[in-house]
């Protein structure tokens, strides 16, 4: 399957009245990043800006002290990432401009998958014997990584089909691990590291279909966690496709805790999908 090259060129970081924002046209949303000072007037100005840009929703990770302010301006809580801000919880809040964006994609199927994961009592244990090897990715791996991403994802929220993008984030804040077998990359996962807040998002998880069901992805995530612990990160979290049993089950068995569901959060695999939040404490305070 050939990957769809979604619109990336208008995505950018901007500031509105001192509030840092990511304008994300690829996913038709605006993300409020940080805000030393924020008020009703500033929030309304941000909402008006998002409407003018034709976006469907506004999202942010909010500290508890500002919840009341955002709630009073129409934001709703969709989930929680425990320990996001150097141990302090973040509330995942959304404001819906497009009412259709607030409608669950496939709620019955997603609820069934979640129930299976939460009912599963099996805990991940590291495989001692396997044919693949796990190592850190480097820039020479990028062409093969793009090939894998393009096979697995028809579309993706970030430009993982771009060599320059992968090279840039790999050199800055994203740790990629890959599984290799017979000289071929067969699975990938990454940790997007927020060094300021000591959290990392487990993301960019992809495995060729013929290699699924072998426990490769959980082993990659386990390896990423080991590196994050050594670096002093407190929290790992992941936003997983709510319709994908495999990744949700892998995170549950790795003892991540369910934190909620983000409705029509991003454009992935050809359309907007709901994303489950999974959270794990890595290091004690």
Average pLDDT estimate for 76-89:
97
The span from the CA of 175 to the CA of 187, in Å, is 14
Question: HSE on the CB side for 110, CA within 13 Å?
Answer: 18
Locate 208 and state its tokens.
């060729």
Q: Supply the pLDDT for residue 209.
A: 96
pLDDT tens, position by position, 141-198: 999 999 999 999 999 999 999 999 999 999 999 999 999 999 999 999 999 999 999 9
Q: Which residue has the higher pLDDT, 157 or 284?
A: 157
The span from the CA of 200 to the CA of 191, in Å, is 6
pLDDT above 60: residue 135: yes
For the chain, list the domains and their CATH numbers. 12-102 (3.40.630.30), 107-281 (3.40.630.30)
The span from the CA of 44 to the CA of 42, in Å, is 5
Average pLDDT estimate for 258-266:
97
The span from the CA of 252 to the CA of 117, in Å, is 6
The span from the CA of 258 to the CA of 251, in Å, is 9
The dihedrals phi and psi of 92, each to the nearest 5 degrees, come to -85, 110
Q: Supply the pLDDT for residue 129.
A: 85
| DSSP-assigned states of every residue in 46-110 | HHHHHHHTT-SEEEEEE-GGGHHHHHTTT-EEEEEEEEEETTEEEEEEEEESSGGGGS-SSHHHH
pLDDT tens, position by position, 229-253: 999 999 999 999 999 999 999 999 9
DSSP state at residue 234: -
Three-class SS of residue 139?
Answer: helix
Average pLDDT estimate for 88-100:
97
Average pLDDT estimate for 91-113:
95
pLDDT tens, position by position, 1-57: 344 444 555 899 999 999 999 999 999 999 999 888 899 999 999 999 999 999 999
Calculate what percentage of the chain has a pLDDT beyond 70.
96
Q: For helices 163-172 and 142-152, what crossing angle results, to 10°?
A: 110
Q: What is the mean pLDDT of the chain?
A: 94
Q: Supply the pLDDT for residue 137.
A: 98
pTM: 0.94
The span from the CA of 123 to the CA of 163, in Å, is 36
Average pLDDT estimate for 261-270:
95
Q: Supply the pLDDT for residue 128.
A: 82
Write down the H helix ranges in the chain: 40-52, 67-71, 107-119, 142-152, 163-172, 216-230, 245-253
């Amino acid at each position: 399957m050939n990957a769809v090259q979604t619109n990336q060129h208008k995505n950018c970081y901007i500031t509105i009245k001192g509030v840092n924002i990511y304008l994300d046209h690829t996913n038709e949303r605006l993300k409020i990043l940080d805000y030393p000072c924020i008020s009703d007037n500033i929030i309304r100005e941000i909402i008006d800006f998002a409407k003018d840009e034709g976006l469907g929703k506004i999202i942010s990770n909010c500290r508890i002290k500002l919840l009341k302010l955002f709630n009073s301006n129409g934001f709703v809580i969709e989930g929680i990432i425990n320990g996001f801000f150097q141990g302090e919880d973040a509330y995942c809040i959304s404001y819906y401009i497009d009412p259709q964006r607030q409608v669950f994609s496939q709620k019955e199927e997603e609820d069934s998958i979640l129930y299976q994961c939460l009912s599963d009592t099996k805990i991940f244990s590291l495989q001692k014997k396997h044919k693949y090897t796990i190592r850190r990715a480097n820039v020479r791996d990028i062409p093969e990584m793009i090939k894998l991403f393009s096979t697995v994802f028809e579309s993706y929220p970030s430009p993982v089909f771009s060599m320059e993008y992968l090279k840039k984030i790999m050199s800055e804040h994203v740790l990629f691990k890959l599984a290799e077998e017979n000289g071929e990359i067969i699975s990938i996962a990454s940790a997007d590291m927020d060094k300021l807040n000591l959290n990392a998002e487990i993301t960019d998880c992809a495995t060729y279909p013929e290699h699924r069901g072998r426990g490769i992805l959980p082993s990659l995530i386990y390896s990423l966690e080991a590196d994050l612990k050594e670096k002093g990160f407190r929290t790992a979290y992941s936003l997983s496709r709510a319709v994908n049993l495999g990744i949700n089950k892998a995170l549950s068995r790795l003892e991540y805790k369910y934190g909620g569901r983000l409705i029509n959060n991003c454009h992935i695999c050809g359309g907007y999908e709901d994303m489950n939040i999974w959270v794990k404490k890595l290091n004690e305070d």
